[in-house]
Amino acid sequence: MESRSNTYAAAGVDITAGYKAVELMKKHIARTAVPGVMGQVGGFGGLFELDLEGINKPVLVSGTDGVGTKLKMAFMLDKHDTIGIDCVAMCVNDIICVGAKPLFFLDYIACGKNVPERIEQIVAGVCEGCVQSGAALIGGETAEMPGFYPVDEYDLAGYCTGVVDKDKIINNNDMQEGDMIIALPSSGVHSNGFSLVRRVFGLDKPDLMAVKAGNAELGGRSLGETLLAPTKIYVKPVLTLLDEVKVKGISHITGGGFYENIPRSIPAGLCARIEKRAVKVLPIFNLIAAVGNIDERDMFNTFNMGVGMTIVVAKKDAKRALETLRACGEDAYLIGEIVRGSDKIELV
């Protein structure tokens, strides 16, 4: 017998829409299948069989995050097929900071009204993020919550699990004065600082999103297109790098910018000295600073400024690290070094 409830539908929850959404997303989920995936989507739990060959002391590493108010950009542009990449990126980019290879991912979508085609677009983005990071989407949840969310809005969060050999966990125990700091470029604002971005540009009116704001500065893209650019996923280049050189520290530059995130990988007694002139600041950040009249300190303490991740290696390994990352398609470059100090970070 087909599952349906007319009274529940009258209350605003259409369970048949949920079934349709699951059917629509299956072809996207199939793209993420990796060795270890067991069972099929739709059960009460996602199954994954661990292959521990070559891992002597397996340690599971988990990460969870959402997309924040960047979702407002998706609502305004009615474009929902990339926001899922952001959700995956915010999780997998975190766990790679300790050297963990992502294994699987789960998503959670809460919405005011389940529109199956829109849910499919969101999940398609999640699946693309999983493909980029080598993780499998093995489950998730879509909750229709009328009266809690507006009918055209939703929230999106995710969770990932990865694995790393205990003896290969990246820590800062060996970091020392003279080590070099490598920058991996970001694709834009990523998924942080959007409450400030929206206030700066007054993004409460959808028509503003289509304006070719700062056409020359933004390479002809609209402000909306620029802001909605998905967060870059660094997993595969970093995993390749870990096979080539000893990495002493990694920082994912998210909310809090340079000042909050880089010190998280720096031990007491040492300081990350960043050369501001070396940072390849993306045009969108110059536009935000100019329109919002935001000082340099606040910009570096809120946004990634064009650097999505920093990596610390020994000076003798810096050239090889740069060559390896560039061979992976990353325009990696040096932005500073480790020095003695108590502040943990200096921008000079």
- Tell me the pLDDT tens digit for each residue of 159-186: 999 999 999 999 999 999 999 999 999 9
Q: Tokens 């950009």 label which residue?
A: 73
Output the pLDDT for position 40.
77
b/e map of 154-187 (b: 16 or more CB within 10 Å)? Answer: bbbbbbbbbbbbeebebebeebbeebbbbbbbbb
What is the separation, in whole angstroms, between the first and last Cα of the chain?
69
Structure confidence by residue, pLDDT tens digits, 214-248? 455 777 788 888 999 999 999 999 999 999 999 99
The angle subtended at Cα 227 by Cα 293 and Cα 217, nearest 5°, is 60
CA atoms within 13 A on the CB side of 5: 11
Element (H, E) at 120: helix 116-133
* 3-state secondary structure at position 155: strand
- The torsion defined by the Cα of 127, 193, 253 and 95, in degrees rounded to 10, comes to -40
pLDDT in tens, 320-329: 999 999 999 9
Is pTM beyond 0.85 here?
yes
Alpha carbon 296 to chain centroid, angstroms: 24
Residue 3: pLDDT band with limits 50, 70, 90: low
Q: What is the structure's pLDDT at 221? A: 80
Q: What is the pLDDT of residue 201?
A: 87
From the number of C-beta atoms within 10 Å of its C-beta (0-12, 13-18, 19+), residue 316 rates as exposed
pLDDT of residue 7: 67
Confidence band, pLDDT 50/70/90 cuts, at residue 212? very low
Q: Which residue, among 186, 147, 165, 160, has the nearest Cα to 108 in the 3D structure?
A: 160
Q: Which DSSP category does 229 fall into?
A: P
CB 341 within 8 A of CB 262: no
